[in-house]
Structure 1
């Protein structure tokens, strides 16, 4: 999928979510919005690939529906990591589980699926700067350590990972590390 089509699809999904959201925050359809910046393919987990340009993260979390109470009431979420330098960008959806140690300190884990605009075959693209991820559909998971300032605003240190769990021939994975700000309605 060309980068422009990928970005257009991500923007269309974001616009759809914004238009279909309730008019007031008291409806609690969208539970939280987040933005952040990630170190793309962070050196903390091996050699950095593709680009040194950061990823911009945007994410929307929704109120947990009653039918997910059996699974610990995770919040459904959608998001995207958009690389600012021509590297691989991803769009993802899944579920997020939060655990609060205190009123302020929490951890969060997520699990779901992702699609990306990176290479899926060949030797890392014509310039050999792009990773070959083997297939388009991937698993996506993340973990965050956060601090909630006032019940609405939080700051999180996040590790974000995408891979195909060796279901395709190539599986280098993509791991980002960064910080995010969240606003809970």
Structure 2
């Protein structure tokens, strides 16, 4: 897990070469809106200014994200690229797409352990692999020149692309976050 996390962080760090942190965010989300797992997700993000080579293809911004669950369910860290646009003078929309590594359950217990297997089916998600896609559409409002707030819907899944397992329950989190621009 640590090796994968460090590899993911190194990959995002290479994307961020020449970029400066342009914004930090803190968020609170309702974990797993389908109600298999519970708790709130507390998140922190750093969004970097778009480096020169990414400005040529739509001013994509690298980001890093880390999330911890208050009930000990899915915790993760990773990064990717963000595209954002103002809709009006104060309202904006954005979309993030990246890769995360997590500490959630990968596989179900074997069939010969039926009690444990059923308990997991009732109380936990099974993600299929340690690496998942991170996709997040959001809409927000600028409060002033330094502060903004947004509502987001975060989806985590391997899409049967990142690993070959049949399990892919994924996770959806609905949340609010506060942005501080530098």
TM exceeding 0.5: yes
**Paired residues, what number?**
161
Q: Pairwise CA RMSD of aligned residues? A: 2.4
Cα distance in 1 for partners of 2:81, 2:174 equals: 19
Cα distance in 2 for partners of 1:114, 1:29 equals: 21
CA contact (8 A) 1:123 1:132 kept: no
1:171 to 168, 171, 182: 168
CA contact (8 A) 2:24 2:179 kept: yes
- The runs of at least 4 aligned residues of structure 1 exceeding 2 Å deviation read 123-127
SS at match of 1:181: strand
TM-aligned CA deviation for residue 123 of structure 1: 4.2
Q: For residue 48 of structure 1, what is the aligned residue in structure 2?
A: 35
Q: For residue 20 of structure 1, what is the aligned residue in structure 2?
A: none
CA contact (8 A) 2:19 2:51 kept: no
TM-aligned CA deviation for residue 92 of structure 1: 2.0
1:142 to 125, 136, 144: 136
What TM-score, normalized to structure 1?
Answer: 0.79
Cα distance in 2 for partners of 1:88, 1:153 equals: 29
Mark the runs of 5 or more structure 1 residues left unpaired by the alignment. 18-26
2:89 to 99, 103, 123: 103
Cα distance in 1 for partners of 2:181, 2:89 equals: 14
Cα distance in 2 for partners of 1:174, 1:28 equals: 30
SS at match of 1:67: helix
Q: Describe how 1:1-185 pairs up with structure 2 within 5 A.
A: 1=1, 29-42=20-33, 47-51=34-38, 53-123=39-109, 126=116, 127-128=119-120, 129-167=123-161, 168-185=165-182
Cα distance in 1 for partners of 2:180, 2:40 equals: 22
What TM-score, normalized to structure 2?
Answer: 0.81
